[in-house]
Structure 1
């Protein structure tokens, strides 16, 4: 093999330019900080976060509605206090019945 073939100084300019362009294309497609794979991963993560944000906004609206219901409806507040926390009015006797197993 001839030494000229191995030395890049003797190559044609078009071959050198195509090699250089190929290197930059591969670099930006796969190895760069903002490569295509990184951009794809970031875009999919962004979509997931947007979806999660929408879910949390809906849940926040539901919780705000429950707060308003509790502020405006004393019967609902009493029901929750009795059923979930076992509270009772003074002088009242509460009987808890266990479900049959």
Structure 2
């Protein structure tokens, strides 16, 4: 009966050491939980960005006005016969 108590106590001490140690213990669990939370936040931001890009793609596929607006804003294009004016700010 005495050797069962020693075995049980040894097992209990070993489990406590594993629980509180840095390798596979509570500290690592908390660190991984924090990293998971950060990654989930980043994923939500990327999902929102993807949704916005999907909306833009849908608009560009279905709407000629959206294509014209994109070409004017991002590519600097103008229609034939239009005059492009560029205002350069003066240095003070």
* Residues 32, 100 of structure 1: alpha-carbon distance in 2 compared, 3 angstrom cutoff: closer
TM-score if structure 2 supplies the norm length?
0.69
Gaps of 5+ in 2: none
Partner of 1:63: 53
Count residues in correspondence: 90
CA change 1:65–1:20 in 2 (3 A) is same
Q: Helix, strand or coil: the match of 2:86?
A: coil
2: CA distance between counterparts of 1:16 and 1:68?
A: 70
Long gaps (5+) in structure 1? 1-11
Match of 2:19 in 1: 29
Offset of residue 97 of structure 1: 2.5
* Structure 1 runs of 4+ with >4 Å offset: 15-19
Once the two structures are superposed, the pairs formed by residues 54-93 of structure 1 within 5 Å of their partners are: 54-93=44-83
Larger Rg: 1
Give the TM-score taking structure 1 as reference length.
Answer: 0.65
What do the CA deviations read for 1:27-84 (whole angstroms, capped 9, x no partner)?
1123263211111111111122122212211111111001111222211221232233
Q: 2:88 aligns with which of 85, 93, 98?
A: 98
Q: Distance in 1 between matches of 2:66 and 2:83?
A: 20
